[in-house]
Amino acid sequence: MKAMLPRESAWAALTLLSAAGLVVFLVWPLFSMLGMSFIDQAGRVSLGNYLDFFRHQGNRQIVLNTVTLGLAVTICSVMVGGFLAFIVTRWKFAFAKWVMVLPLVTLVIPDVVVAASWIVVLGRQGVVNMWLEPLGLQLPTLFSWWGLVFVMTLNNYAYAFVVILVGLKSMDHTLESAGNSLGYPMRSVLFRVTCPLMLPSILSASVLVFMQAIGDFGIPAILGARTPVLSVAAYNAFVSEMGTTPQMQTTLASVLVLMGFMLMAVQKAIVDRRQVQMEAGRPPEPVSVGRWKAAVAGTLTIVIMLLSVLPAGVVLVTAFTPSVGPVLQYGGFTTAHIEHALLRAPQPLYNSVFLATIATLAGTVFSIVAAYLIVKKRSLVGQAIEFMVMLPLTIAGTVLGIALIHAFNSPPIVLAGTWVIMALAYFLRRVPISVRAAMGPLHNLRDSIEEASRNLGVSPLKTFFRVVVPVLIPSVAGSAVMMWVTTLSELSATIVLYHGGMNTMPIEIFQQVDSGRLARASAYSLLLLLTIFTPLFIANKVFRLNIGGIK
């Protein structure tokens, strides 16, 4: 590692400060929680907690449910997302451009809103069952395996779509052209050429979706009463009034963390063995296809899009629908639910906006500094910062919340029961997005530009603000908007960390759904969606920011 010049001492201090902050507020809570899971009630180091955990049939079933649900959602999401990515990059058909909007729509609609909406549509007293009732028919209950997989696939396939789309766009078109020139039909080229070359992207998409699925709290908590999973079980153990031991709470959470680490290790091992080098930047152009293929592609696109945006439409209608207890009286109109959410009980909205703003401001500043340290001030500490920043991507929100509670519930640092610990969790959960967004432009910024500025007598700090920051503003601004809107919809960490007076919008929606007040839940959901999509619209249409990373 190169010795730092005296004028770079400020960057050395920032490097150490950033690393120390991540160690104290992220690494220490996580590894303290993991360490506690290996300490038995007598204070001895052992595997007793894990043996006790897996000794019970119910716990083994929870792990099996979690893995099964994760695999099912991953397979379905990769199939849907991969199909959409392939037809968009390879075919010309009606509505192809609309597909690019899907990630923006599906990724920012809170999962608790999605679950509540599908209850309104497919629940026992839902719209579809009301239509089928005169025919003597009824759909299978949504509160089941098929309901979980169906709703979670619609909530997660956009992750697979984005990752696979990027991979397909970076492929060298001559490889597929060579297969076609040898007389192979498109199907053979797809399975013999495209899929093997796309394996790293497919695996990355699979890992991302799987981690999202096993870490999701809102949908399993609402729809999975008959199918307990680890994220919900960890939360139930944490809040249980039956006196579950801290060791069992941390063991439940640690099992979820270890599953994520194992999956990441397996994915890395497979990808490392199948490295393929090719000429990038020459993706194949979409080609015109036959009428029936174009019709099928267009129809499926419309169906998937309608299913994706259906929760927003359901929320809009139900928010103005009169209700008597849990019974919705469609056909009527009322503003009582909106008035309650906006005028009588607006505190959750204020709390959500306040916490999201604090987390986004801190995350934006930190992402600029951290990305510069990682890319331009290369060092072992910088590599450690990069690893620590990306660590939350492998950790469920409930797990992170439990780790923070255990770490900061007693001196020397007491944050439990304050809004600070909630903002900290949001910061840790979302800052990887901003750091990745800032790293991209920095890789393309030549070191000679900064050196020229310094040779002209400009100090390193002024060079940073005059040369580096303007390059980062478009990407960081876009990721900041994305960080803000996704923080507004955060539930999994919030459900562990919130306290009296600090209900957020997702918490309020969750509680209203749990109480059977779907109309009032829809009113809060509508306000939340307006709060989310208004800045997205302004950022895209007014400031022309590239939100979501897809043009």
List the CATH number of the domain containing 137. 1.10.3720.10
Q: Are 104 and 24 within one domain?
A: no
Q: Give the Cα-Cα-Cα angle 269, 275, 278 (nearest 5 degrees).
A: 160
How far, in Å, CA of 306 to CA of 304, rounded? 5
CA 454 to chain centre: 40
pLDDT for position 329: 85
How far, in Å, CA of 55 to CA of 52, rounded? 5
Please check whether residue 318 lies inside any domain of the structure: no
Which one, of 163, 16, 159, lies nearest residue 74 by Cα?
159
Residue holding tokens 């007076």? 501
How far, in Å, CA of 394 to CA of 391, rounded? 6
How far, in Å, CA of 74 to CA of 242, rounded? 35
Q: Are 361 and 306 within one domain?
A: no
Strand partners, 323: 328
Q: Are 454 and 360 within one domain?
A: yes
How far, in Å, CA of 254 to CA of 82, rounded? 32
**Which token pair is 277?**
């080098």
pLDDT for position 198: 75
Give the single-character DSSP code of 92: E
| 510 burial via Cβ count (<10 Å: 0-12, 13-18, 19+) | buried
Q: Number of folded domains in the chain?
A: 2
Compute mean pLDDT per 10 residues along the chain, 551 residues long, and list them.
53 88 94 87 83 89 94 95 86 75 76 89 86 86 92 91 80 62 62 72 86 91 88 85 63 85 76 55 66 82 87 90 84 91 88 94 91 85 88 87 91 92 94 83 73 72 78 80 87 90 92 88 90 79 58 44
Query: Cα-flanking dihedrals φ and ψ of residue 92, to 5°?
Result: -105, 125
Q: Are 399 and 511 within one domain?
A: yes
Which one, of 496, 71, 507, 487, lies nearest residue 250 by Cα?
496
| 227 burial via Cβ count (<10 Å: 0-12, 13-18, 19+) | buried
Please check whether residue 317 lies inside any domain of the structure: no
Distances from the Cα of 311 to the Cαs of 128, 223, 483, in angstroms?
Answer: 14, 15, 21
pLDDT for position 550: 43
How far, in Å, CA of 495 to CA of 490, rounded? 9
Please check whether residue 3 lies inside any domain of the structure: no
Q: Are 307 and 378 within one domain?
A: no
Q: Are 28 and 94 within one domain?
A: no
Centre a 10 Å sphere on the Cβ of residue 174 and count the other Cβ atoms it contains.
13
pLDDT for position 338: 92
Domain that residue 369 falls in:
9-44+333-551
Q: Are 402 and 340 within one domain?
A: yes
pLDDT for position 189: 65
Please check whether residue 427 lies inside any domain of the structure: yes
Please check whether residue 321 lies inside any domain of the structure: no
How far, in Å, CA of 298 to CA of 288, rounded? 13
Q: Are 195 and 80 within one domain?
A: yes
Compute the residue count for the chain: 551
| Contact (CB, 8 A) for 259 and 396 | no
Which one, of 492, 493, 450, lies nearest residue 468 by Cα?
450
Q: Are 35 and 108 within one domain?
A: no
| Entry pTM | 0.85
Q: Which residues of 293-302 are buried (b: 16+ CB within 10 A; e: fewer)?
A: ebeebbebbe
Please check whether residue 390 lies inside any domain of the structure: yes
How far, in Å, CA of 166 to CA of 159, rounded? 11
Q: Are 64 and 26 within one domain?
A: no
Q: Are 305 and 362 within one domain?
A: no
Q: Are 433 and 479 within one domain?
A: yes
Please check whether residue 326 lies inside any domain of the structure: no
How far, in Å, CA of 521 to CA of 338, rounded? 10
pLDDT for position 105: 75
Please check whether residue 325 lies inside any domain of the structure: no
DSSP H or E segment with residue 347: helix 347-375
